[in-house]
Structure 1
């Protein structure tokens, strides 16, 4: 024991030294331009008046060349400004917080599951075990139809009522916060994976808010928990061709018709993990709205693993042998998610990481692949690129793995873990509850970068990067779903062996 302590003490100073060496290297590379300009400026400052006059006369003798260079610079600058993508801003967003009458405690869930009368004792015990290890608190929400005793009215009409409640609740808040009139919205994108009625849910929004007739309207279904960022990417692309427009993005999931009433274990997990919620986001490309917007969209990156059979089948809606419909989760889900995340991170890294991290990654890659050196793969430090992380609250196992692989602290993981605890897995809208948590804590400062990471069926892994345009004052966030209880967070969640979707 004494030798082990001595070894640990010897390792700690070395690791600390390595940390500071790396930090110094990062600052050296990041400020290389300034380090070059300072000596140049000092050298120019030592030029005499006569030397400046001589330089001026030399330029005067080559006036034609100067004029041509100026014209060429002007033309190239104009071409660059006209060809560059339009900037997209996030004016504001709203997350729906259901009424307290829709809270479903763990005891309530297990009691109502038993009263359904179709589950075996083994299935009931399995669902109870999942719920106990989910990382959920006692205040997550489900739809009214699932709280009835016995459970009944699981029909399309009830599903529409649920959709209207969560969608209109979020959109009403958003329009009230921004003051934007519904007739000014030119683009509408809604995503909901498991409920796809006719007329569509997006048409339901158009009808409720009397949106204009030439609106670009899209309804995305079947795209899983990553659909929220798919919607953001689609809206961004549409804003490139619709000048001076507002784009309304709505992310939600329906629970009423999504339940599985069979006894196949792989299809029982979604019953326990999904909870009710929604988010509405308002994007714009109007430069005049930049000063009142919260964030600027910096990057939107999508990675699709659907060409791989394992990725395609790891989250699959199907019927069991008794023709009961449900969503099956494969054992390949976590490995496939890991591969998708790795591919996404590898593509995103060069776009966001400082040059110092890219050099270290390249040197490590060359050593392993070219020189066949037996060294550990270098994982870039994404904390140098982002101040805030919003990772889809799909389950504890994924959050634990990402915390470990990205080297994140408890502070960085807090928004995701507390969202999982307080609201559960609300599918595609969970990222916005996480960003709302960060705002309610008063952590968003002007210039901060936030990274939203989502993954879902298909299999897809998507990333969106935002830059804060102003410091968010939590006192002004009256419609924030966390604001009434934010002082009680974070809450310690006991560690248990997780079971995830």
Structure 2
């Protein structure tokens, strides 16, 4: 009996030892798993890409006395005494078909006869535009200039020393350790290139504010020769510019207007036809101008197609992606055309670079968009002309002024530029926008869209 009891006690002790060991192991395992989970969460939280928020932006509104109605523009060309009859007729023809209305403006220097293309005139134009939009943007949000961490400017054909960003730093008293970048020679798509650069910088610089400045100087770039491809640029570019305030700070999430979702860049510079489609060069008489080739629309279409192929899988719903992939199989055997996805299922709004009527119509045709989808682009071209890299921001302000952008909406900005480049930026609205907030369209938004030959049927 004593032996049996002893064996039973030994078994109980063994069971208790095993139980305590298992309990201790389970506790240790649970603790270890918890620590691993916490570490994984922390690593994910701190290593995940930081969001790029668009707090707000400001577009330059030229005063009315700088307007150049088409008849006045043509008269100005005639009395300047620079052009022969053939060159005048070509520019008149392009102007009348350009889609640009009578409210588009040029700087004071271009109103002069002969136009003043001096360095001082270009500097005055640049400062007038950028000083105005930066002041408006910072004062509206009560931003201390000393809080700006990054500043990026883009102006393709005017590259002064000190740089354009230095002008802003000097004028507004920005910090001595500010990260400053001035981009030049990158064409009308440089606005989105600047956004791309800022996005990459914000990935490595925490809690930072960035200021982007986009414009093109008209004053120094008038062409006075006889080359037809160079004369076209005289007729379509107008005065304008924009300042954009970006951030990756958490406290700006609730005050920002938009969040950057995607940015895709395409560069066809390795192809000679694309490379030469927009080029600054000398004509036969040594005069400098920007040449726009006859193949420009075709080149833009090719660049857009490549850009869309990369962007599509990131934004399109799966049914549209499957239709597109399915169309590639019969196409390989020459039996069918590639299916163009319905991008209206991914985007509520489209901002197409207002480079000209042909560009806007070409994109609408390629993407199978309706006239209403290109309305913001057409109206921007009509009122402001081609303002180069800043045109996309005038278009977005048009949509805001029309109270069309709602919280949760996505906007596709499509930019084109020399090189040849096609760039896409996708923004998501993350705030309730107030259409009564004053912007460049506020004074006359009730007059748009215009009818008839000015774009909207």
| Alignment TM-score > 0.5, same fold | yes
Question: How far apart in 2 are the matches of 1:180 and 1:245?
Answer: 13
CA contact (8 A) 2:52 2:259 kept: yes
| Residue in 1 that maps onto 2:378 | 417
Aligned-partner SS, 1:257: helix
Q: Does 1:121 align with 2:85?
A: yes
Question: How far apart in 2 are the matches of 1:364 and 1:420?
Answer: 35
Alignment partner of 2:193 out of 212, 227, 230 = 230
CA contact (8 A) 2:101 2:454 kept: no
CA contact (8 A) 2:407 2:432 kept: yes
Q: Number of aligned pairs?
A: 433
Question: How far apart in 2 are the matches of 1:290 and 1:303?
Answer: 29
Alignment partner of 1:468 out of 418, 421, 429 = 429
**What's the offset of the Cα at 1:115?**
1.8
Question: How far apart in 2 are the matches of 1:106 and 1:78?
Answer: 61
Aligned-partner SS, 1:108: helix
Alignment partner of 2:49 out of 85, 89, 92 = 85
Question: How far apart in 2 are the matches of 1:153 and 1:463?
Answer: 36
Aligned-partner SS, 1:376: coil
Question: How far apart in 2 are the matches of 1:257 and 1:419?
Answer: 23
CA contact (8 A) 1:135 1:493 kept: no
**What's the offset of the Cα at 1:366?**
2.8
1:69-100 residue CA offsets vs partner (Å, 9 max, x unmatched): 55444333322222211111001000000111
Alignment partner of 2:155 out of 192, 201, 205 = 192
Aligned-partner SS, 1:111: helix
CA contact (8 A) 1:103 1:140 kept: yes
**What's the offset of the Cα at 1:118?**
2.1
CA contact (8 A) 2:148 2:208 kept: yes
**What's the offset of the Cα at 1:473?**
1.2
Normalised TM-score (structure 2): 0.92
CA contact (8 A) 2:117 2:221 kept: no
Cα distance change, pair 328–336 in 1 and its aligned pair in 2 (3 A): same
**What's the offset of the Cα at 1:153?**
3.0
| Residue in 1 that maps onto 2:17 | none
Cα distance change, pair 428–493 in 1 and its aligned pair in 2 (3 A): farther
Question: How far apart in 2 are the matches of 1:434 and 1:421?
Answer: 11
CA contact (8 A) 1:91 1:178 kept: no
Question: How far apart in 1 are the matches of 2:417 and 2:232?
Answer: 15
1:373-424 residue CA offsets vs partner (Å, 9 max, x unmatched): 6122111111111111101000111111211221222221110010011101
Alignment partner of 1:487 out of 436, 442, 446 = 446
Question: How far apart in 2 are the matches of 1:404 and 1:222?
Answer: 29
Aligned-partner SS, 1:180: coil
CA RMSD of aligned residues (A): 1.8
Normalised TM-score (structure 1): 0.84
| Residue in 2 that maps onto 1:385 | 346
1:371-382 correspondence runs (5 A)? 372=333, 374-382=335-343
CA contact (8 A) 2:117 2:222 kept: no
| Residue in 2 that maps onto 1:31 | none
CA contact (8 A) 2:382 2:454 kept: no
| Residue in 2 that maps onto 1:266 | 229
| Residue in 2 that maps onto 1:7 | none
Q: Does 1:173 align with 2:136?
A: yes
1:14-413 correspondence runs (5 A)? 69-148=33-112, 150-369=113-332, 372=333, 374-413=335-374
| Residue in 2 that maps onto 1:457 | 418
1:103-138 residue CA offsets vs partner (Å, 9 max, x unmatched): 011111111111221211011011000000001111
Give unpaired runs (5+ residues) of structure 2: 1-24
Aligned-partner SS, 1:292: coil
**What's the offset of the Cα at 1:484?**
1.1
CA contact (8 A) 1:353 1:382 kept: yes
| Residue in 1 that maps onto 2:12 | none
Bigger Rg, structure 1 or 2: 2
